[in-house]
Structure 1
Amino acid sequence: MTISYFTILKNHLEHMQIEMVAAAESAADEAEPLTEGPEVCECTRMLLVTSGEGTLAVDGEEEPLKAGDCCIILSGMPHTVEAGPGSRLVFKWCHFHASFGDRELYKWLRLPRIVHMVQDEAAGLMDKIIYYVSHEGLTSRLRIKAAMLNLFSLYLERVPFGIEASYPEKPSQELEKIDTVLRYIDGHLAENITVEDLARQIFLHPNYFIVFFKGMMGCSPIQYVKQRRMETARALLLRPDCSISDVACRIGMKIYYFSRMFKSHTGLTPSKYRKLASVTAGSAPRS
């Protein structure tokens, strides 16, 4: 598993913007099919089967559907959803636009089209989305985004992220390129990293590199470098063998600048963060 795979997913979830456009519950059977032919939507669709059996056909490839199955269909992809013989297929669905939904990115990551979820939890989240789509209020969009992020979390937790499962073939050139860049960043955090340095690793002009990096990671190269420095600093501060000056040195900062930047980033000084983190590190979240 290349380090880029999880990093790309994490960054896109953190920076993802969601515009929910419709949500409801539908049903189909042999006597009353959903459509007469393939559908093509200009938005991304998420479907959660709650009862019955059927099939999902996308680009001529058919996959079986059963209760608990959740599928993501990207915009512009012709597809049909049909009930199985003698079965009534019931499913909750939502249509949305999201910054993660780039077809090329989805193809590069090779995410599965269908995963099987814990039905009650996923259905409860879908019900929230359906409710708040039709009840516009001050917090409706926030509640929809929270429910969608939870659904994406359930979806990703069910993806078999082993190297054999995720990469049955050689990783794409795009993943190999971004992996080279991310490894370079992690290996040179103590140095002054420039866009030119990063672009040189994969033989791109800096202007093209910035576009490529943002398309893959959801943020600019410099934003990502700062993010990695702060993530590394937080991890190192949990280690009692690392002094604050050691932490600053390992991420390439003078201690006074590091302390100022860390407080700006977390709202806490490094010493205060270390003290609080050591107290809470072993505490499990409440269910």
Structure 2
Amino acid sequence: MNTNYLTIMMKHFEHMNIEVAAAAETVLEAASLRERDDVYDCNRFLFVKEGAGKIIVENKEVQLVPGQLVIVLAGMSHRLSLKDGEQVTLQWCHFRSNYEDRDLYRTLQIPFHIQVKEAEAVSVLFVRLFEELSKDGLTSRLRNKAIMLELISIYLDNLSILDNHAPSDDLKKVNVVLKYIDEHLSDNITVESLAKQVYLHPNYFIVFFKGILGNSPIQYVNQRRMEVAKGLLLNPDCNVSAVAGQVGMQIYYFSRMFKAHTGLTPSRYRKQAALFTASAEGEQTGKEEG
């Protein structure tokens, strides 16, 4: 999978708030299905636990088999279809989020169905979701969100981008910008310089970028600098001043931002990482000797 493609998806889901509206397990037969398409104002996860059939999503027909996970986004017309004698057991949930998921779906061309490798694990997650919804406890919403993020993670882990899916124009533009950022972290990166890479007006570029990544361009640049800095600080030969220079920041500003980002000063982070590495290596040596 393209690294920038994955970056866009991960940034989107990291900032997405999720509310589960309903979830259940349903056994369907041909006689129980309506012939017309359905359109929901929420997103739907459908997991095929047992049986077979087919689903038509915006005129695209897919055969349903056990272990298949389908995501139908809000506003997408779809219907289930079964032949006489067919039966399918679906575990499903309806959820809402705070992003324009369908626009992102079109931009990234995310397949709306996958075949998961961990079918039993997915089924167990749905069962946990059913249980938490029935409890309606103080922490149930947090647990539901954790379960949904796990389901989304499994979806992404099993996702593959087909070779014949050419990236959209918007995705091409974002790829250019993300590549430019990584190649110029040590430089003074401005909104104007980023917008110039894709021939957009800076004001429009900010809206365009945030709509896909979930952060403003400069927020993303600073987050990327902190991510790179954490890796550089693990190298004992690279002092804090050198790390600051490599991510294009003055040392005093870098130290302040790094602490705000991690809760630790760069020096403290390096010491903690060194202690953890030494401890892990000691445990590994002990296991090998044992």
Is the TM-score greater than 0.5?
yes
Q: Partner of 1:31: helix, strand, or coil?
A: helix
Structure 1 residue 43: deviation in Å? 0.9
Provide structure 1 residue ranges, at least 5 long, that are not aligned to the other structure: none
Hey, what does 1:245 align to over in structure 2?
241
2:188 partner letter: N
Hey, what does 2:102 align to over in structure 1?
103
Q: Partner of 2:155: helix, strand, or coil?
A: helix
Q: Partner of 1:124: helix, strand, or coil?
A: helix
Structure 1 residue 39: deviation in Å? 0.7
Hey, what does 2:194 align to over in structure 1?
198
1:124 partner letter: V
Structure 1 residue 84: deviation in Å? 4.5
CA offsets 1:180-221 (integer angstroms, 9 cap, x no match):
111121122112222122112111111111110011101111
State the alpha-carbon separation in 2 of the partners of residues 22 and 2 from structure 1: 34
Q: Partner of 2:195: helix, strand, or coil?
A: helix
Hey, what does 2:55 align to over in structure 1?
56
2:121 partner letter: E
State the alpha-carbon separation in 1 of the partners of residues 83 and 131 from structure 2: 29
Hey, what does 2:38 align to over in structure 1?
39
Q: What RMSD over aligned residues (CA atoms) do the two structures have, in Å?
A: 1.9
Which residues of 2 match residues 49-128 of structure 1 at below 5 A?
49-100=48-99, 102-117=101-116, 118-128=118-128
1:171 partner letter: P
Hey, what does 2:288 align to over in structure 1?
none
Is contact 1:132–1:144 with CA below 8 Å preserved after alignment? yes
Q: Which portions of structure 1, spanning 4 or more consecutive aligned residues, are displaced by more than 4 angstroms?
A: 281-284
CA offsets 1:138-170 (integer angstroms, 9 cap, x no match):
211111110000001111111125xxx2x4243
Provide structure 2 residue ranges, at least 5 long, that are not aligned to the other structure: 282-290
1:13/1:280 Cα in 2 relative to 1: closer, same or farther (>3 Å)? farther
1:254/1:144 Cα in 2 relative to 1: closer, same or farther (>3 Å)? same
Is contact 1:29–1:82 with CA below 8 Å preserved after alignment? no
Structure 1 residue 124: deviation in Å? 1.4
Hey, what does 2:13 align to over in structure 1?
13
Is contact 1:3–1:179 with CA below 8 Å preserved after alignment? no
1:30 aligns with 2:57: no
User: Larger deviation: 139-148 or 254-263?
Assistant: 254-263
User: Larger deviation: 224-233 or 125-134?
Assistant: 125-134
Is contact 1:44–1:101 with CA below 8 Å preserved after alignment? no
State the alpha-carbon separation in 2 of the partners of residues 48 and 100 from structure 1: 23
1:138/1:52 Cα in 2 relative to 1: closer, same or farther (>3 Å)? same
State the alpha-carbon separation in 2 of the partners of residues 205 and 79 from structure 1: 38
State the alpha-carbon separation in 2 of the partners of residues 112 and 235 from structure 1: 33
Q: Partner of 2:30: helix, strand, or coil?
A: coil
- 1:274 pairs with 270, 276, 281, which one? 270
Structure 1 residue 134: deviation in Å? 3.3
Hey, what does 1:261 align to over in structure 2?
257
Is contact 1:28–1:82 with CA below 8 Å preserved after alignment? no
Structure 1 residue 281: deviation in Å? 4.9
Aligned residues: 279
